[in-house]
Structures are given as structure tokens and as C-alpha cells.
């Protein structure tokens, strides 16, 4: 059985979740509007992913986003600031890129 990892972005307007395998290949995703209710939306996203894959033995999971830190503390998860996450991903997957423009529901970033 492949080792799976769950990444969750709890933003100001949406919840995004991704399951990847140990080769960093995307296995499944969820993208849901939170409508001001990020925690119930997160549960809905994880349940949907659980219908697709066995998440009971995740090798790891982590959070990012404006709402991710509080939830990570509640569930004993790992939180990474979204700017740090974006720059790490850029370095790992697109090291030749020099500019990132990220437009979120709460703010925008130019890296």
C-alpha cells in the first residue's frame, strides 16, 4: 500500500485539500467554497477524500492558509505559513520560475 499524505489549505473563502503519494503524485483533490464555515467545509472535504481512499493510515498531514493554524493546533497537525509553503513548492517543482502571483479571497501576494 502506498504511503499517502494529506495537505489542507483553509483559506478565507475556500478549503482545498490534496492527497499525494510518496512520489509527490496527486492522488485526489477537493476544492470547496467555505461560505464562512471553514471547519464544517473541511470535514466535508476530508469525508469526500475518505470515500475515494483509505485515509486511516496517512503517513502525514499538514495545514496552511489563514484558518489552518487554529485547526492544526486542535487536531495535533502541522501548520506551515502559506508564503513559506508556496516558496518551498516553487523551489521543489519549478526552480526556474522567478515570479509568483497568488490571488486569494483575503489578500494577494507577489513573490
SS3 track for the chain: CCCEEEEEEECCCEEEEEEEECCCCEEEEEEEECCCCHHHHHHHHHHHHHHHCCCCCCCEEEEECCCHHHHHHHHCCEECCHHHHHHHHHHHHCCCCCCCEEECCCCEEEC
Q: How far apart are CA 72 and CA 61, in angstroms?
A: 9
Reported as a single tens digit per residue, the pLDDT across 74-103 is 988 889 998 898 889 889 889 999 888 888
Q: How confident is the model at residue 108 (pLDDT cuts 50, 70, 90)?
A: confident
Tell me what the mean pLDDT of segment 54-79 comes to: 90
CA R_g for the chain:
14
* Average pLDDT across the chain, whole number: 90
Q: Which residues are 29's β-sheet partners?
A: 18
pTM for this entry: 0.87
Determine which of 23-32, 38-47, 76-85 has the lowest per-residue pLDDT on average: 76-85
Tell me what the mean pLDDT of segment 12-34 comes to: 94
Please determine, for residue 2, whether its predicted confidence score (pLDDT) is greater than 90.
no
Q: How far apart are CA 16 and CA 31, in angstroms?
A: 5
Amino acid at each position: 500500500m502506498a504511503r499517502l499524505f494529506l495537505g489542507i489549505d483553509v483559506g478565507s473563502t475556500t478549503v482545498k485539500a490534496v492527497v499525494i503519494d510518496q512520489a509527490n503524485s496527486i492522488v485526489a483533490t477537493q476544492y470547496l467554497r467555505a461560505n464562512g464555515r471553514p471547519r464544517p467545509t473541511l470535514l466535508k472535504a476530508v469525508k469526500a477524500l475518505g470515500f475515494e481512499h483509505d485515509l486511516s493510515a496517512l503517513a502525514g498531514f499538514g495545514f496552511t492558509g489563514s484558518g489552518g493554524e487554529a485547526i492544526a493546533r486542535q487536531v495535533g497537525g502541522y501548520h506551515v505559513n502559506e508564503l513559506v509553503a508556496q516558496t518551498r513548492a516553487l523551489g521543489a517543482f519549478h526552480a526556474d520560475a522567478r515570479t509568483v502571483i497568488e490571488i486569494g479571497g483575503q489578500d494577494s501576494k507577489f513573490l
